[in-house]
Amino acid sequence: MLIERFDPLKGEMLRIMDEEGQIIAPDLKPDLSDERVLELYKVMLLTRAADTKALQLQRQGRMLTYAPNTGQEAAQTASAAALGENDWLVPAFRELGAWLMKGVSLETIYLYWYGNEWGSHFPENVRMLPISIPIGSQLNHAVGLAMASKYKGERDVALGYVGDGGTSIGDFSEALNFAGVFDAPVIFVIQNNQYAISVKRQIQTRAATLAQKAVAAGIPGILVDGNDLLAVYAAVSEAVERARAGQGPTLIEAYTYRLGAHTTSDDPTKYREDNEVVEWRAKDPVKRVKQYLIAQGLWSEEQDAAQSTEYEEYALEVFRKIEETGDPQVEDLFKYTYKEMPEHLEEQLSEYLQYLEGKVK
């Protein structure tokens, strides 16, 4: 068991693929065919292309504030890939690769960042909660979903994401404690991208690793190289198996890096040095999987360039469609919070509609 072999209290980190795409721990490599790795890599490429395009569109004033994902594609894609179709995915706000992997369309994702309420409306077969902006609040929801599955005698699990800064929020500790006490079939994935907005991870918590925060809750924790697609997949797959077998929750720290800004409202040059970013670019998760696939004879630089261009064009095409038809409707703000609209919202909506008709000022 990987979780037993790597002790976060000793700073031990699970790594299977190095920065050059070489397998350095073949005995730990998960049961994942190279063809499946290629499929996951294409999701990573789409994530990178869609992310880059969203950033460009926001800078052009065509999209609202956006949270970039570049540098974290492996942690997102691999973790979601380890889930079953009926398992729940409970996101924060920087899990683009996971959303795509789970089956949320890029059109829906772009609608959300465009400010349209329908960006939180997923198909019935996609078990994912809406994007959560309040830090850490989504983790208790993940525990609730997992416990509901357990009470109903199902074998579905829930996976909740949080950033490194979120581990200092009370909701994080409460969720871990509750999950541990009741053996909830839930996995917590910390995307440790080294910054809580502008605050370095080493400043916002004194813990040597974030994975060791599992110890206080009495649950297993493991530290993995978050830029290593295979390591993340292996760790999350094992955690899913544990949860499904009734062995309770697991905390996973994916050690990664946010290459871009916290959001498009942020200027990272004010709090970090350029040489730090350059150092982490060498650890790019997309680059290492590409090199691995090329070495296996399944991919080439020419295919990579063509696929990237195709995804960039696709992302722009999707957004143009949204610009033509996706203007947010203010009425939607009232309609989808409650199953039945309460009286005070009905009054507000009525007043707004009368305003549109010119009956009130």
Q: Which residues are annotated as catalytic?
A: 258, 262, 271
In angstroms, the CA 256 to CA 280 distance is 9
Residue carrying structure tokens 């090329």: 294
Residue carrying structure tokens 């809406």: 130
Query: For residue 200, what are the β-bridge partners?
Result: 195
Amino acid at 65: T
In angstroms, the CA 16 to CA 122 distance is 34
State the DSSP H helix or E strand holding residue 320, giving kind and residue range, or none if neither: helix 301-325
In angstroms, the CA 85 to CA 156 distance is 9
Phi and psi dihedrals of 208, rounded to 5? -65, -40
State the DSSP H helix or E strand holding residue 224, giving kind and residue range, or none if neither: strand 221-225
Residue carrying structure tokens 């605050």: 199
Distance between first and last Cα of the chain = 66
Q: Which two tokens stand for residue 222?
A: 């493991």
**Is the separation of the CB atoms in 135 and 129 below 8 Å?**
no
